């Protein structure tokens, strides 16, 4: 069974994986204000809709988050996603150091919270780890 598109915009696309997790594939397109926020909002909706707790996040082609995007994700989106049951994020890291730094800012905001992020070089490794994590909280 193949993953099905849940949402798509300039920031990236979200796929429903038949193994009960969400895939977020960031694009290398220039984002306009609100594009990343829309992608994250649809991530939240998918977590709620399917009662999922796991996301595979592929950032290989991603452009760095703006400071405003970083702030919004860390302070607004993460708390909402955690209330919706988000518990495991498998990140396929970008070769771009600025993307890695922006992601590190966000992922360090979860210290002490029941959310676990792991970074991987390939999507296969990320999916293997994600599949070992519990399906729901």
Average pLDDT, the chain: 93
In contact, 88 and 53? CB cutoff 8 Å:
yes
Percent of the chain at pLDDT above 90? 79
Percent of the chain at pLDDT above 70? 99
Q: What is the reported pLDDT for 7?
A: 98
In contact, 32 and 9? CB cutoff 8 Å:
no
In contact, 22 and 52? CB cutoff 8 Å:
yes
CATH number of 4-131: 3.30.750.24
Q: What is the reported pLDDT for 45?
A: 97
**CA dihedral over 78, 83, 86, 87, signed as positive or negative:** positive
Q: How many CB atoms are closer than 10 A to CB 71?
A: 14
Q: 66: which DSSP letter?
A: P
Cα(14)–Cα(23) distance, rounded to whole angstroms? 6
Q: Higher-confidence residue: 33 or 127?
A: 127
pLDDT tier at 114, thresholds 50, 70, 90: confident
Q: How many CB atoms are closer than 10 A to CB 4?
A: 10
Buried b (16+ CB within 10 A) or exposed e, 13-48: bbbbbeeebbbbbbbeeebeeebbbbbbebbbebbe
The vertex-56 CA angle with 116 and 43, nearest 5°, equals: 95
Q: What is the reported pLDDT for 13?
A: 98
pLDDT tier at 137, thresholds 50, 70, 90: low
pLDDT tier at 23, thresholds 50, 70, 90: very high
pLDDT digits (tens, 9 = 90+) for 54-109: 999 999 999 999 999 999 998 999 999 999 999 999 999 999 999 998 888 888 87
């Amino acid at each position: 069974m193949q993953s099905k598109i849940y949402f798509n915009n300039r920031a990236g696309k979200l796929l429903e994986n038949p193994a009960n997790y969400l895939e977020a594939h960031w694009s290398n397109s220039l984002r306009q204000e609100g594009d990343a926020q829309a992608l994250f909002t649809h991530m939240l909706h998918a977590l709620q809709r399917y009662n999922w707790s796991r996301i595979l996040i592929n950032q290989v082609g991603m452009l760095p988050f703006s400071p405003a995007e970083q702030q919004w994700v860390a302070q607004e989106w993460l708390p909402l996603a955690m209330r919706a049951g988000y518990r495991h994020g498998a990140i396929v890291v970008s070769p771009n150091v600025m993307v890695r730094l922006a992601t590190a800012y966000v992922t360090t905001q979860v210290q002490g919270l029941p959310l676990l992020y792991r970074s991987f070089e390939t999507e296969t490794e990320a999916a293997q780890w994600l599949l070992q994590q519990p399906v729901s909280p």
